[in-house]
Chains A and B, each alone.
Chain A
Amino acid sequence: METIYKDAFDVVTDVRALVNVPAIVSLLDGGKVEPSVKSTGASKRGIVVNCNSISNTSQQIGFGSINCYAPAISSTVDNKPVQLPDQQTLSNLAKAVKKLVDGVYANTFHIWIESLPVIMQDTDGSYFANMRFRYQSIQTNFKNI
């Protein structure tokens, strides 16, 4: 039997497939669900799925994030321009995504949200809702015992 194991590429592919569905894409205003990095600018909505680690054990345990981006809202406070997170869009996006990936038992893996969405700011100033997931898979034919 062929050895089946998951690396970070497989984790991102598996998780992205759960999120990259019409119900989510329609919320993105033309934005995309992308693996690992966001290719579009700060003015575009988007979702990025990434994987930080996956263990090489017979019961593989992986961790990663799903980041939901929404353009910041320009506002003026005390006569100064400020960029504020679009709370409502971020919240709606994050809630819609969480439903699709929390406690999913797929054929070759199992995933759940370990840490619920929080707002974070990216280096380009854009805001995103970050949720961390835990991913588990059984590696067949594991040899290092």
Chain B
Amino acid sequence: MINLQVATQISPIFLTVTLIIYLIIVELGNEKMKKALMPFVIILTIIFVIFAIASIYQTYMGLKLVEVFLR
């Protein structure tokens, strides 16, 4: 069973900014840059999506717990 735990010292804003900068480099760079950087961008995007889904899921579960508690 995969346990979720979003506990990093670092803010996810850093990931977002890095991803945007790399996307800009891919967009402005030549064919070779695209070839070299694209897989890295794909990996970072997947990580970003996983992180976002886990955060939303945990927030939802937290809200649900609060709701049960308030009842």
A and B associate in one complex: no
Instruction: List B residues at the A interface (Cβ < 8 Å).
Output: none
Instruction: List A residues at the B interface (Cβ < 8 Å).
Output: none
